[in-house]
Amino acid sequence: MTSPQKNNKAETASLQSSSLTPKWTINTKRRPYLWGPNRMRFFRHLINLRLLFFLIVAAASLITGAVVCGLSLRAVHIAVVPCFVAFILLFRKDIFKRIRWYHFLYFGLLTAAVAAYLVSLAHFIPEIRVRWLEFPVAIWFLISIHIVVLLIDRIINAILSVPFNLGRNIQRQRKFLFPKTILRILCVLAIAGPYLLAVFMVHWVKFADNIDPRQELGADFQQVRFQSTDEIKLEGWFIPAASLYRGRPALESLSNSTVIIVPGRGTTKACFLSYAMTLSENGHNVLLFDLRGQGASSGHTCSFGLLEANDVLGAVRYLKQFHQQASYYIFALGISDGASAVIGAAACDERIRAVVIDSVNAQLGSLPERLKRSLPRPADVYVHKATLLFASAILGRNLFHQPDINNKIAQISPRPVLIFHGAADRISDPKSAEKLYATAKKPKKLCMVPNAGHAQVLLYTRERYINEISEAFALGMLN
């Protein structure tokens, strides 16, 4: 038998040995998910979700732009603002901390400048008034241009950082900062300069008519809507011959000739009612309408008569469908950029019996042409080609291989061509009218008016203007 003392010692030893062995217990306090490697996994997942959401926003914006404007750079102008906002909210929230008072001041001055331009132009041209719906469109457009130029600058900066190999070396950054900055400015100017020139050459803000033919002429008229041959919605006025409708029911006319008046860019059809009055008083019906991107018509772009020729062809189609008796003879009068559209339309539609062009812009994009003449070589050639390249991207048409109106005007013969131009025109070079006259085939006539500026021939020589047009139209009726 064992003694009680030995039993107590054995129990004590067993307890000590059992306390040395590990005991496995369940930990009820679990560590959070964002711990250790889980944290990196979570943030990668979050970044992927942000990137996916950004791509969805970008795709939706580009699709919307393509639906509204077609497959062109205009779709990018629509999409770039929501894409930029989404990028900041998702990836660069810290940028809000960098916003200073002068940023708000700059945006306020930009907004005030747009409003001042709209109001001042409407004040100096009483025939037009401001379309305030154009105001947010103009602001959106200017913001998108700022973003595009900013992206151009950032891309150029990233590209130049590679050959200079700046990295994080402070001494190397200070050493190459000046040459890199100069090269960066030159590259931005070389790309953003032609881009901005093309943007403002092709786009223009629209105004509304402030008067109508009833106020100006005391005449009944019909507000008409039709489409160009490429399905652009256009609006205009059909005005019956004044010498025939007086004393008759509204819009009843016995004249069988209609003149399509095609105005220039930047204003509205109301600014050209003096031409309509002149022709209406001489026994012609008149269809005066806004080209695409002008006045009440659709769009916000101008192609200097290239695409606008489809607008003139749409006007001819409308007259033949809805005013057959009043448009047995169809003539066309184009002013400034509208003259280029008339030449392009008459070259492919013989239903236009005679053509009158006034203060024509013979060059596609007269602004880069004038700038080209003021720059030294080879900068002039680069600016001209780069501007046309960006303009082609904006319009979605290759402007390098479009037929010149100097070649198109020769296709109008044997229908008569009458050319008016002011000798003091500083917008359209008078030599362009002389070149057109030399290219055109008979019957043709050039009337160069001394002291007349751009689209001022009617103002200087009204009686001669009427007589020359009447002769051209009479000759067109015989063909």
Average pLDDT over residues 325-333: 93
pLDDT in tens, 132-157: 888 888 899 999 999 999 999 999 98
Q: Both tokens of residue 19?
A: 């306390």
Instruction: State pTM to two decimals.
Output: 0.82
pLDDT in tens, 375-433: 677 877 888 888 888 988 888 888 877 767 878 899 998 999 999 999 998 888 888 89
Which comes out higher in pLDDT, residue 27 or 269? 269
Number of residues written out for the chain: 479
Average pLDDT over residues 219-224: 84
pLDDT in the model for residue 1: 46
Residue percentage of the chain with pLDDT more than 90: 38
Query: Model confidence at 42, in pLDDT bands (50, 70, 90)?
Result: low
pLDDT in tens, 177-188: 788 889 999 999
Peptide bond into 443 cis (omega under 30): yes
If you average pLDDT over every residue of the chain, what do you get? 82
Which comes out higher in pLDDT, residue 12 or 66? 66
What is the rounded CA–CA span in Å between residue 201 and residue 464? 34
What one-character DSSP code corresponds to residue 301? B
CB count in 10 Å sphere of residue 441: 13
pLDDT in tens, 77-117: 889 999 999 988 888 877 878 878 888 898 889 889 888 98
In this structure, what are the phi and psi dihedrals at residue 356, rounded to the nearest 5 degrees? -120, 125
Average pLDDT over residues 438-444: 92
Task: Tell whether the model's pLDDT for residue 171 goes beyond 70.
Answer: no
Residues 6+ apart with CB under 8 A from 479: 353, 414, 415, 416
pLDDT in the model for residue 369: 57
pLDDT in the model for residue 100: 82
Query: Model confidence at 11, in pLDDT bands (50, 70, 90)?
Result: low
Task: Tell whether the model's pLDDT for residue 21 goes beyond 50.
Answer: no
Taking CA atoms, 351 is separated from 357, 427, 461, 474, in Å, by 17, 31, 29, 15
Which comes out higher in pLDDT, residue 214 or 363? 214
What one-character DSSP code corresponds to residue 30? P
Domain borders along the chain are 43-94, 131-202+365-400, 210-364+402-478
What is the rounded CA–CA span in Å between residue 274 and residue 469? 15
pLDDT in the model for residue 104: 86
pLDDT in the model for residue 306: 84
Task: From 29, 48, 152, 118, select the one nearest 90 (Cα to Cα).
Answer: 48
Which comes out higher in pLDDT, residue 315 or 32? 315
pLDDT in tens, 241-299: 875 444 444 444 568 999 999 998 888 999 999 999 899 888 899 999 999 999 999 98
333 contacts 466 by C-beta, under 8 angstroms:
no
Task: From 397, 390, 391, 368, select the one nearest 381 (Cα to Cα).
Answer: 368
Taking CA atoms, 69 is separated from 39, 132, 351, in Å, by 44, 21, 31
pLDDT in the model for residue 24: 47
CA quadruple 317, 321, 327, 330: dihedral, nearest 10: 10
Out of 1.20.1300.10, 3.30.70.1170, 3.40.50.720, 3.40.50.1820, the CATH code matching 210-364+402-478 is 3.40.50.1820
What is the rounded CA–CA span in Å between residue 447 and residue 431? 13
357 contacts 161 by C-beta, under 8 angstroms:
no
pLDDT in the model for residue 362: 64
pLDDT in the model for residue 173: 63
pLDDT in the model for residue 20: 47
Query: Model confidence at 66, in pLDDT bands (50, 70, 90)?
Result: confident
Q: Both tokens of residue 357?
A: 């062009």
What is the rounded CA–CA span in Å between residue 285 and residue 260? 9
453 contacts 424 by C-beta, under 8 angstroms:
yes
